[in-house]
Amino acid sequence: MLGGLTIGITEFVLMGLLPDIARDLEVSIPEAGHLIATYALGVVIGAPALVILGRNFAPKKMLLWLAFALALLNGLSIIAPNYEFLLLTRLLSGLPHGAFFGVGAVVASRLADKGKEAQAVSIMFAGLTLANVIGVPIGTYIGHHLNWRYTFAIIAVIGFLTLLSMYFLMPNLEKQQSEGIRTQIKFFGKIEAWLIILITAVGFGGLFCWISYIAPLLTKVSLFSEDSVPYIMMLAGLGMLVGNVIGGKLADKFSPAKAVLTLQIVMAAVLVSVFLFSENQYATLVLVFLTGCTAFAMAAPIQMLMIQTAKGAEMLASAAIQASFNIGNALGAFLGGLPIVFGYGFASPNLVGVVMSLLGAVVVLVFLARRNVRLV
């Protein structure tokens, strides 16, 4: 969970610090925005690559090295003398992200009591949601009022706390007998693997259609003040925290695939409501909580779905989920921005999110049909 907190802060805090970083390093805000995309690129590259490189390590050793990399590489951002150096450190600090969650999800499921595997995975992902409730607002405040480098110092400290905690508290699990690397990669020759990746990239795209443009939605449509936006984002983070717990329980009680299907449909309904009722401030506050809740309720179920499907290639497949999540980030931000470009207003990205969520639900149905699973 501490590792998730580290990753959550470093991934999301930059969005609020772009003006400060741009001013300090003497670049434009759009140029500073490349730091976000570069981090996501690091996740996509590092998720499968580091799992493959560390495939012969025992789980604890692998996670310790990944935690060390998270702390060290984020720490390098503190001393960045120029924009190019910071761009490089952001790419490098994204590398351990997907592998940490990929390996960590498998380890969490192995440490759990039988029947509570998804709940254990959701506890790990709770760090990511806590980052949005506490870590990102504090990091943004410190970055604004003191210096953005101090925020990265805090991230590095939490990373080293993660390393120490796992070293002293985590059991030494034996390395599972897995298939050879060629056989593991062959898993991605199966249609089911790509269906799950597609569910993640398209389904979570609905979340990013909403959250990428939430600030102008709140200020231009709901007419909240700019000063209130960080507090409303904390409400979204609280929803993510609650949803994360709910998702783990749903996946264990029913099945990961059925939980994801239900949540994709609920997400589409919530995003329709956001589009229709964003002019009402009270409704907006409720929907901010519900959207965050529904989106992150899918995190543990989709991770467990991949782990259960990828026998013998669990860690590599689990890491691939993190890469596809970041593809969903890019897709949602890009596609959600198109209707704004064409003049349809700041609520319109949510309709794109509706389509993406429903497409995600359709892909889940295709997956269930291939596995001969009945809905009732």
In the chain, where does DSSP find H-type helix? 2-12, 14-25, 29-53, 59-76, 83-111, 117-130, 136-145, 148-169, 181-186, 191-203, 205-211, 214-216, 229-253, 256-277, 281-297, 299-309, 314-341, 349-370
Q: What is the DSSP string of 93-123?
A: HHHHHHHHHHHHHHHHHHHSPTT-HHHHHHH
Backbone angles phi, psi at 228, to 5 degrees: -85, -15
How many Å apart are CA 20 and CA 36, to the nearest integer? Answer: 14
35 within 8 A of 87, measured Cβ to Cβ: yes
- The token pair at 182 is 């060629």
Domain boundaries, the chain: 1-176, 181-376
Q: Which residues contact 347 (CB under 8 A, 6 or more apart)?
A: 217, 221, 274, 275, 278
Q: Which of 29-43, 209-223, 281-295 has the lowest mean pLDDT?
A: 29-43
How many Å apart are CA 314 and CA 317, to the nearest integer? Answer: 5
229 within 8 A of 106, measured Cβ to Cβ: no
Confidence check: pLDDT of 329 > 90: no
Confidence check: pLDDT of 4 > 80: yes
Backbone angles phi, psi at 161, to 5 degrees: -65, -35
Mean pLDDT of 346-357: 93
pLDDT of residue 271: 97
Mean pLDDT of 337-353: 89
pLDDT of residue 39: 86
How many Å apart are CA 251 and CA 118, to the nearest integer? Answer: 6
6 within 8 A of 159, measured Cβ to Cβ: yes
Q: Over the chain, what is the mean pLDDT?
A: 86
- 204-236 pLDDT, tens digit each: 888 888 887 887 888 889 999 877 877 888 898
pLDDT of residue 359: 95
Please give the residue that has the higher pLDDT: either 267 or 253: 267
The 3-state DSSP class for residue 17 equals helix
Confidence check: pLDDT of 177 > 60: no
pLDDT of residue 180: 61
pLDDT-derived band at 151 (thresholds 50, 70, 90) equals: very high
pLDDT of residue 49: 83
- 97-140 pLDDT, tens digit each: 888 988 888 888 888 888 788 788 888 888 888 888 888 888 88
The 3-state DSSP class for residue 188 equals helix
For residue 177, is it left (φ>0), alpha (ψ between -120 and 50) or beta? beta
The correct answer on CATH 1.20.1250.20 for the domain covering 181-376 is: yes
226 within 8 A of 219, measured Cβ to Cβ: yes
Confidence check: pLDDT of 153 > 80: yes
Taken in order 97, 101, 102, 107, the sign of the CA dihedral is: positive
Residue type, 368: L
Confidence check: pLDDT of 51 > 70: yes
- If one counts every other C-beta atom within 10 angstroms of the C-beta of residue 94, the result is 24
CATH of 1-176, one of 1.10.10.10, 3.40.50.1820, 1.20.1250.20, 3.40.50.720: 1.20.1250.20
Confidence check: pLDDT of 200 > 80: yes
For residue 58, is it left (φ>0), alpha (ψ between -120 and 50) or beta? beta
pLDDT-derived band at 85 (thresholds 50, 70, 90) equals: very high
Q: How far is CA 61 from CA 170, 173, 349, in A?
A: 10, 10, 43
- pTM for the model: 0.79
pLDDT of residue 111: 85
Half-sphere exposure of 372 (CA within 13 A, CB side): 0
Confidence check: pLDDT of 166 > 70: yes
- The token pair at 310 is 């990828």
Asked whether this chain's domains 1-176 and 181-376 adopt the same fold, the reply is yes
What is the percent of the chain where pLDDT is above 90?
A: 35
Confidence check: pLDDT of 351 > 90: yes
Please give the residue that has the higher pLDDT: either 55 or 62: 62
How many Å apart are CA 113 and CA 353, to the nearest integer? Answer: 36
Mean pLDDT of 245-271: 91
Tracing tokens 């749903």 back to the chain, one arrives at: 250
